[in-house]
Amino acid sequence: MPTDATKIAHPSLEERRARGKELRKQTPPSSHLKWKPAADRPDPVALLEEQDARREPDLVPVRHGRMMVSPFTFYRGAARIMAADLKDTPRAGLTTQLCGDAHLSNFGVFASPERTLLFDLNDFDETLPGPFEYDVARMAASFTIAARNNGFGKADARDVTRTSVSAYRSAMAEFAEMRTMDIWYARLSEDELLAAMKTAESALKGKAQKKTAKQAEGRARQIAAKAHTRDSLQALSKLTEVVDGKHRIVSQPPVVVPFRELDVSTYGVDPDQLEHYVRAEFRAYRATLQSDRRHLLEKFEIVDVARKVVGVGSVGTRAFIALLQGRDGQDPLFLQVKEATASVLEDHLPKSRHQPGSRVVHGQRMMQAASDIYLGWTKGVQEGRFLYWRQLRDMKGSVVVEAMTPMSLAFYARQCGWTLARAHARSGDPVAIAAYLGKSDGFELSLTDFSERYADQNERDYEAFTAAVKSGRLAAVEGV
């Protein structure tokens, strides 16, 4: 018989709605208005320096260089700074699995196991259970910052931000009325996304607007078409060369450095020992997969491994690519291996019950409509190092935010808002959250105001960051 500790509560619909409404009274959705930084707010540059201390020294300047490009790229790399700010913001008390870094560039398309192109969240390095508002605030502020970066006027920036939050609230109301399994199976496919663009275009009246919408649809189709070509065979042509009849990863330092070229000082071991560690890690990783997927992976052997720099926020953490071969040299599989550290949210929320690599994998599986069949994790060879594994390229694609118009960014905001709500509805209580958010626009107005104020703060932080680079406090290498 199960003990009291293992019993799972199943409140009625009425009880779940009543909880949301009661929490609404205690912490109104409008309580995010007039945000201001805490009086004891930590130095943002110091927070980044603390992160840098655990990262690979030769790549830290690359990270800084990528963050220097604009306030928008700075925001992408400053999840830890925002986590420190969010801890003082109002919370209703409704917990979901959080992405932890739900800015608009962490949404994109990728292939489902059935080879359907899906639009979803695609970065879970900071995932952790926590207040649903954290993800919505991170998403909303990213739209304000991106809109400013694109030169939008204040009204347009406010509109796209409000649209993202409104889409979240509306979608959550829909999920609150859906059956449990229907929520779990909900997804946004390539065909549905393009159909939504067609519907939005048909609702427009002006010729100029229709032309802009048509151009946006064309770009979306190009992104989808390119994503369909991004697989291990394409990566083989882009990332490898043939030497003595065998494929090996091409050296492109500092972005891509094969293990055969790494200095002993990089990880404290020689290349031969490093290869031994990789193979041991690979065996441990296979054990974390479902048996059928493990059997499939066992048909491949490792051919080459390299360090590969990725993203903005992840630069400096350990990240590798592994080239595997199946039946012959034209049957490749590329895996990406990324270091997982503690979530930035764990500084302020309860610690994860999983080790970091497992935390990322469990969070991703909880939030995504469909996850990579090769998603798994290992404990690194060195103490305190953890890794997660996935396919390097599996029809992945993303929008070029900097090229978007107010109309196209508003459309994108609706898709991101819906997607985030669906991810939260899978792990949280959509009935209670929908009841909390209510039918009025108080939540989106409140978070739009928060986003404008936070975008101002982000610009101040960016200025402090660039000043630290100019003064020599931080080293930076631009253009890499």
Percent of all residues in the chain with a pLDDT value above 70, rounded to a whole number: 98
Q: pLDDT tens for residues 352-386?
A: 999 999 999 999 999 999 999 999 999 877 788 89
Buried b (16+ CB within 10 A) or exposed e, 3-26: eeeeeeeeeeeeebbebbeebbee
Q: pLDDT tens for residues 98-140?
A: 999 999 999 999 999 888 999 999 999 999 999 999 999 999 9
Q: Is 181 helix (H, G, I), strand (E, B) or coil?
A: helix
- On average, the pLDDT of the chain sits at 93
Looking only at the bridges linking them, the beta strands covering 246-249 and 128-131 are unpaired
Please check the confidence at residue 219 and state whether its pLDDT lies above 90.
no
Q: Which alpha helices (DSSP H) does 125-231 contain, by range?
A: 132-149, 154-176, 180-185, 190-202, 207-229
- The model carries a pTM of 0.95
- Res 311: pLDDT: 81
Please check the confidence at residue 288 and state whether its pLDDT lies above 90.
yes
Residue with tokens 């939030």: 367
Query: Is the separation of the CB atoms in 165 and 452 below 8 Å?
Result: no
Range in 17-21, 51-55, 377-381, 462-466 with the lowest mean pLDDT: 377-381
Q: Which residues pair with 307 in a beta bridge?
A: 257, 320
Distance CA 98, CA 191 (A): 27
- Res 5: pLDDT: 57
Please check the confidence at residue 2 and state whether its pLDDT lies above 50.
no
Q: Is 437 helix (H, G, I), strand (E, B) or coil?
A: helix
Distance CA 104, CA 75 (A): 11
Q: pLDDT tens for residues 303-326?
A: 999 999 888 888 888 899 999 999
Buried b (16+ CB within 10 A) or exposed e, 330-358: eebbbbbbbbbbbbbbbebbeebebebbb
CB contact set of 192 (below 8 Å; sequence gap of 6+): none
Alpha carbon separation from 52 to 57, 269, 316, 464 (Å, rounded): 8, 22, 8, 17
Alpha carbon separation from 81 to 48, 78, 165, 385 (Å, rounded): 8, 5, 22, 23
Distance CA 37, CA 373 (A): 42
Query: Stretch 219-229: mean pLDDT, rounded?
Result: 86
Q: Which residues pair with 111 in a beta bridge?
A: 117
Q: Give the helix/strand (H/E) hosting 267.
A: helix 264-267
Query: Is the separation of the CB atoms in 334 and 324 below 8 Å?
Result: yes
Torsions phi, psi of 101, nearest 5?
A: -150, 55
Query: Stretch 163-176: mean pLDDT, rounded?
Result: 98
Please check the confidence at residue 199 and state whether its pLDDT lies above 90.
no
Distance CA 43, CA 335 (A): 37
Q: CA-based Rg of the chain, rounded to a whole angstrom?
A: 23
* Angle in degrees, CA 363, 369, 374, rounded to 5: 65
Q: In what order do the strands lie in the sheet with 376-379?
A: 256-258, 301-308, 319-325, 332-339, 386-391, 376-379
Distance CA 226, CA 212 (A): 21
Distance CA 407, CA 424 (A): 26
pLDDT band for 4, please (50, 70, 90 cuts). Answer: low
Crossing angle of helices 406-427 and 207-229, in 10° steps, is: 50
Query: Stretch 53-77: mean pLDDT, rounded?
Result: 95
Closest CA to 149 of 427, 458, 368: 458
pLDDT band for 1, please (50, 70, 90 cuts). Answer: very low
- Res 34: pLDDT: 96
